[in-house]
Structures are given as C-alpha cells and as structure tokens.
Amino acid sequence: MPSIRSLALLGSFGLASAASVLSPRSVDLDACPGYNAKNVKENKNGFVADLTLAGKACDVYGKDLKDLKLEVTYDSNTRIHVKITDPEGKRYEVPESVVPRPTTKATGSAKKSDIVFEYKQSPFSFSVTRRSTGEKLFDTTGNALIFESQYLRLKTNLPENPNIYGLGEHTESLRLNPTNTTRTLWSRDSYGVPQDSNLYGNHPVYYEHRDSGTHAVLMLNSNGMDIKLRNSNTTGAYSLEYNIIGGILDLYFFAGPDPIEVAKQYSEVVGLPAMMPYWGFGFHQCRYGYRDWIDVAEVIANYSMAGIPLETMWTDIDYMYERWVFTLDPERFPVDKVREIVDYLHAHDQHYIVMVDPAIAYQDYPAFNRALESDTLLKEANGTVHKGVVWPGVTAYPDWFHPNIESYWNNEFAEFFNADTGVDIDGVWIDMNEPASFCSYPCSDPEGEAIAQQMPPKRLPVRDPPRSIPGFPSTYSAKKTRSIDVVSGAANKVRARRASVEVDLISPPYSIANDAPYGLSDRTVHTDIVHYGGYIEYDTHNLYGTMMSDATYSAMSARRPGLRPLIITRSTFAGAGKKVGKWLGDNLSTWEQYRWSIPGMLGFASFYQIPMVGSDVCGFGANTTETLCARWTTLGAFNPFFRNHNGDTSISQEFYRWPMVAKAAKNAIDIRYRLLDYIYTALYKQHKTGVPLINPLFFKYPKDKNVYDIEYQFIYGDSILVSPVTAENVTTVDIYLPQGQFYEFTTGKSVKGEGKFVTLTDVDYDTIPLHIIGGSILPLRSESAMTTTELRTKPFNLIIAPDSKGYAKGSLYVDDGESLEQEKTLSVEFVYKNKKLSVKCNGGFSGVKVEKVTLLGASKKRSRDVDENGVLVVEAEKELSGEWTLDF
C-alpha cells in the first residue's frame, strides 16, 4: 500500500487519487460474510465474546479485520454498553480525557434490565429489546457487520415511518425524514448554516420515539461518519446505517421509556451541563464590524436611552490588532478606552465579552512566541509549524492534547485579560474552532500567503474626533498611539510526535459527504497532522472545538477563581455542555432560517445536554427587515441564550433602530426578565438531573401522535407553551393545543385544549403567543428591570394556573447567581390543592419575598375581585422562608 505522503501527493498533482486507487467493488454490503461469535464468556453484568470473519472477505473499502472483540455490559437496568473493537485494543477510541466515561460500577443484569441484549452467533447479529413490550429497539438481523481499517458499517432495521430525532448538528427538521436522509458528522466552518450539510458540531446520538416509549442510541465515535436513514425502494423497509471512517463501534443504549428519562440517562454518560451565571440569561448585544471603541460606546448608550435592557456588550475580532488573538488595536481599541468601556459597564451592573479564536497569527509577537516556546503548536512531519489561513492571515493552531497547553492558555488569558492592566472580561466567546481555515487543501505556503494578501483590510481608519456619547466622560476621545508592542526572538524548532500507520489519512477510500470541495482536509487542519501523544487529526478532528472549550473553561476559572465561567462556543462534541454554551453559528437574515433556529435550539437543549443555546437573533448574514427582526426578537427572548449579532457587510440591526423592533424588544425582555428565575430554576434542575429546560412538545405529551412532527412550537421550562408566528408578514398563526387546561400568559384567560389546531389572529409583530400549561405555579418577578442585578431585588408574584382538577405545583431555586460553590441556597416547592397554596422552603436568602399571588381560572363566585378573565390577585407580603400556607 502506498505511504501516507505518496497518497496525498497523488491527489495534489491531479493524478489518480487515493480514493480511486482503493475504490470499492460493486457489491451488496448485506451480502458480505459478517462475523461469527464464539468463546462467549458471561460475567455478572454481561459477557465478552470473540468475533471471527464468517467467510470470504468483501474488502469493500480496504481489508476486513479477521478478528474482533465484543463486550456487552449492563451498566444499569436502563443502559447497555456495547463495544466492538480489535482484540488487542489498539484502535483509536474517543479519549477519556475529552469524554470521561461513567465511573460508577456496572449494576445491571440481563435478568432485570429494562432492555435486553440478544444475539445470533452465526452470522453474528444482535438486537436490543424492550422487556416490557418485546419490541426490538435496535436490530441488525440481515445486515452484515463490516469492520475494516478505515470503514465500519453497522445497520439496524427500523419500524415503519419511524420518529427519529438528533444526529446533529444540522439545519433540518426536528423529526428527521426517515426515507432519505444522510447526516454527516465532520466539523466545518459552514457560513449560512445550509440545509442538508454538515455543520460545526457533532452529536452522534439519536432519539427514537414510539407510541410505546422512547429510547436513544449513542455511537461514541469521533471519526467522520455518514448516518443514513433510508426506506428501501424494493422492500419498503426502513433502516438506519452507520458508515464510519475509523475508530471502533462504541454504543450506548438508553431505555427511557419516556423522552425526559432518555435525556436524563444520556446525561449520565456525556455529563450534566454546567450551571451558568444568572446574568448570562440577560440580553446580549454584538456585531462583527464595530469599527472602534466609539461604536461600542455609542451602542451601549443608545440602548440605555432607548430604555431597552442591555446586560452584556460583546466585541467581535474588531478589537484585535490585525486580528491577532490576545492583542488590542492601539488606535481603534486602545487599552485605556476599552478599560473605560468595561469600567462603565461594571459600574452600571453590566458585563463585557470578547471573541477569542484558536488560530494564532504567524507573527513575531508575544502570544505566538510563547506558543513556540511552550511547544504547543501543531506540527508537520518535519517538525515545522503547521499553517493555515484565518482572519489574521497565516496562522498556527494550538495542540489541545499537549501537556503544556493548559499553562500556556491560562497564561495568555491571565496576561491579556488582566483585571488591573488588561481587558477585564466577564465571559468569553470562542469561534472558528472546527478548526477553520480559509485555505483550500493542500494549502501550500505560497497559496496561504496569497490568500492572506487578498483578504479584506483588517483595520479601518480611526475617526477623529468622536461624536459625543451620553454617559461617558467628555475626555472620551480618539488619539493616536504607538504601534503594538512585539517581542523579538527566533522560534524554537520542535519535533512532532507521529504515528506510523498504513492508511490514507487524506483521502480515505470511503468518502463521507463532507460539504467541502477538496476532501476532509479542505479549509481546516490537515487530517494527517499528529497531535501530542500520537493522536491523529483524522481521528480527533471532531473533538477540536470541545477541547478548546475545556481549555478556555480552565483559563477563565484560573483568572476568575470561584466564579462560573460563561463561555459560548461554535464547535461542539458530545459532552461539551459540561463546560460551555453554544450559539447556532453564522445564520442568515431570512424567514427560513428564523424558522430553522427553533429545531436547532431544541436539539441542543433537549437532546444533546447543551441548554445555554440560541441563534443570532435577526440573523448574522445578509440584511434583516423590520418585521423579521421584530418577530425574531420575540422568539429570541425564549432562547436560553439571547443575543443580537450580525455581520460587517450587513445593515446595523440593534433593537433600537426600528420603532417596531424596539417595542418588540421591550415587551419580550420584560416577560423574559420576569420569568428569569423560572428558567434559571429549570437550568439548575437540568444541571443536577439532566431534565431539559426547553422541551419539544412530544417530551411533554409523549402519547399524543399529533405532536411528533411539531417543531416550531416548544415548551419553555416545563410550563409555558411558546407558539411563534413563523410566516412572513402575517399576524395569524395556527397553533396546536394538546388536550388539557391552558391559560393565556398576558391575560390569564382560561383556554381549553382539545388536541386540535386553533388559529390565533391579530398577533402583533411585537408580541409572541404564550400559554401557561395547567397544573403549574410560576414564580415571576413582580416587574422587570434594566439589569439582572436590579432584577434580583424585586419581589415575586406567584402565578397559580390549576389543571382541570384544581391542582398545581411549581418550584424555585435561588443562589448568589455566580459562584461555583454556594454558601447558601434557597429551594422552594409550591403546591396548590383544595383551594390552598402550600409553600415549603429549604435553605434561605434574606429578603426574598412574595408580594402577591395570582390565581388563574378563579370563579366569580369566589370573590368580587375576580376579573372577566377569571384572574384573582391576592396581596401577600410573605418572605420565602420556612413553611406557610395561603387559603383562597
């Protein structure tokens, strides 16, 4: 077989590519021999067995491995772990350092488990069956297992017209089309988040929902893969097929049986999501293209004058000198002016966040020189630094596997984001961490330099003098400063650790449907680069973003000890939510992408355990319109992460620029802030248990077949149905109301759900339809505020929304809002039954009070104070401590 480098050169010089050299013969994959199981050895929690090739090898994309090892473990009575790998255990697996496996001892057994692993020895096939119903949830019968050096194939039969969700990141329907869908998992910079394309993140888990219950399957493999959902043209049978270009088959099966239980069980493997700071739920403003500190200051002032709450101001790469990470532009963003902005924000209980990219400018300056000295950059085989082209021009990339990377990254954050001498940020935004490059493969040095020269100007002229900015000092004016300081010194030569492998790391014989013209290495770090420890980019590419997230979490924790980091990232892998939140990438200002943002948000918050998620409100690319931005503003207020952000070539879209949008923002933020403790409580619950803070309708109504396809309505927390208008330039919307009791959020009017669609009319552009689900008690702040700090001083108004039997319950969690370890907390349980509200408090914060209690669905016979909508408001000056009751 040709060497790695010779195969790469074949493609580079336009000769026969490696893929064509090793192209598969035309063969029916299900006719391949598969494997036989033998030497089965049972143990208390499962068994192990040998798998041996059952006949003449197909060698469809290389050489079939003759011998494999099977391990089946009943981790618990709701989870089965199945591994198929080589007998010596030498094949690549997702490192424990990136995705730690559960540490609890296996406790399940085949006799007691809710799901059962069954197999046929010759040829080997297996199924996972739900014990209570006998249904096969995963069944490989009739589908040959193929296991080659660079191609793994595993196929399961599915029921008719299955309800499959997950397998992100993608711009697609919440429920995947089961007849002809391919989900490709390979991180890439995907501007415009196109449909039917691989995007930034990779979450190889799917949820399948049936009338009898829900289960999920995680394929813990970080290699590139195509997952194909098909409906056979000949038999009509449905199937799901994994096609993976490396690693092992490492499967976790989750029994459920309901969607929320599945989400909880998934969190037990990938980890529970991080608890975010309270202020992180405030409204955030950003733009790529703020030309200088004057722009930033004006935006802050304009929000204040418009009376629209602004919690956090963000700055994109504009603040950097020549877009070099860990620098400030000395003329457009001089350190004294940036510090004045940060001081102003902090004095007004507001916050500041900037972007940090992984790619480091290949220039003689401190951050790059220290990276060379610490030996933490990715290297070529000859020991030179691997180069790409990103915003600064020619760049180098950190090696997140290197043992020195934590000290290097921590030091850069400590040096540049120093509270006394640098930029005192409150959170961090990491981007381009797929990792992205603008250079097409193979990206030679001359080509890279040429691309860098053709890039748009990195620095716009300084405006002098600035306009007057209300609220900022009169001395806040532009001035010329010297050029950026750089540190001279030659780069240290380093040797890369490389693995000797007889495979094609550039053009593997099976070509996944990566949406890039020149293969896996196109516009990213090349897949034959070897990280410290022998990890190959080919295997670990999909982990790069999550590893940067972990390193950044460590760096922020080191510079702000004891405080929860707020980190928002673009590229994610399974388990990323343990440290960071996620925004849905560089979308476009279109009605279609406004709609797609809803299933995108639901996927991360509900399926993947990354609850701090949201889209760029009003869109990033292209130009928004007043009506689109108004609708998106009201929708964005019900994303856990709520940020307005757009691109440098688009028109400005801050909320105050249009009367309709400004009114929409005020209305939506007013509701969001009054509900902030409600959703913060939901986040705490997900942080502790995995129960999602945002839910698709089928999570709440798993027996209602009408909701399986619904993707534009969702449940905020567990008690508020959100039904945005999703069509352009209309004021009506058809919404589905499941059977049960509902109440209009704004009026409190009782609405009976009959399991049907109803049409809402006169939905103004500055409003969004909201319904409280009967059986709920919501703790709302009595009024909104301009900042979350001020909001926390407001008393509560408890909204009681009884179900048809007159029962309701709810909860509230309060802490200091920012500490990793809490000295004291307050947990409250509310129950309403028999016309009595019971309140039980554990822990306590002095001064947390209830000002009034509002009962919905009240009868006029009860009190003359009940209004025409059945709303009764009772004044109740009560502190949330101990236990107390209130009769109605």
Cβ pair 859, 866 in contact under 8 A? yes
Residue whose pair of structure tokens reads 């029921």 in the numeric block: 159
Q: Which residues pair with 163 in a beta bridge?
A: 209
Q: Which domains are present in the chain?
A: 32-270 (2.60.40.1760)
User: Has residue 16 got a pLDDT over 50?
Assistant: no
Q: Where are the beta strands (DSSP E) in 381-489?
A: 387-390, 393-396, 427-430
Cβ pair 567, 581 in contact under 8 A? yes
Q: Which residues of 851-880 are buried (b: 16+ CB within 10 A; e: fewer)?
A: bbbbbbbbeeeeeeebeeebbbbbebebeb
User: Has residue 26 got a pLDDT over 70?
Assistant: no
Share of the chain above pLDDT 70, in %: 92
- Mean pLDDT across the chain, nearest whole number? 92
| C-alpha span between 532 and 399 (Å, rounded) | 7
Q: Residue 233: in which H helix or E strand, if any?
A: none
| C-alpha span between 604 and 610 (Å, rounded) | 5
User: Has residue 700 got a pLDDT over 90?
Assistant: yes
Q: Which two tokens stand for residue 537?
A: 């980019």
Mean pLDDT, residues 261-266 taken together: 98
Residue 473: pLDDT band with limits 50, 70, 90 = low
User: Has residue 447 got a pLDDT over 70?
Assistant: yes
618-648 pLDDT, tens per residue?
999 999 999 999 999 999 999 999 999 999 9
User: Has residue 478 got a pLDDT over 60?
Assistant: no
User: Has residue 197 got a pLDDT over 80?
Assistant: yes
| β-strand pairing of 312-315 with 203-210 | unpaired
pLDDT at 845: 86
367-399 pLDDT, tens per residue?
999 999 999 999 999 999 999 999 999 999 999
pLDDT at 451: 77
62-114 pLDDT, tens per residue?
999 999 999 999 999 999 999 999 999 999 999 999 999 999 999 999 999 99
User: Has residue 721 got a pLDDT over 70?
Assistant: yes
Cβ pair 244, 148 in contact under 8 A? no
Give the residue numbers annotated as catalytic, written as ranges. Answer: 431, 434, 586
Q: What are phi and psi of 223, to 5 degrees?
A: -70, 160
Residue type, 888: F
**Which segment of 439-448, 526-535, 722-731 scores lowest on mean pLDDT?**
439-448
Non-local (6+) Cβ contacts of 211 within 8 A are 703, 705
Mean pLDDT, residues 749-757 taken together: 98
User: Has residue 167 got a pLDDT over 80?
Assistant: yes
pTM: 0.93
| β-strand pairing of 163-168 with 203-210 | antiparallel
Q: What is the DSSP letter of 607?
A: I
User: If 0-12 CB within 10 Å is exposed, 13-18 middle and 19+ buried, where does residue 258 land?
Assistant: middle
pLDDT at 472: 63
Q: Name the nearest CA neighbour of 698 among 710, 689, 688.
A: 710
User: If 0-12 CB within 10 Å is exposed, 13-18 middle and 19+ buried, where does residue 111 land?
Assistant: exposed
Share of the chain above pLDDT 90, in %: 88
Residue 847: pLDDT band with limits 50, 70, 90 = confident
Cβ pair 357, 324 in contact under 8 A? no
pLDDT at 480: 35
Helical H segments across 326-404, by residue range: 335-347, 366-374
Q: How far is CA 38 from CA 35, 90, 121, in A?
A: 10, 21, 7
766-799 pLDDT, tens per residue?
999 999 999 999 999 999 999 999 999 999 999 9
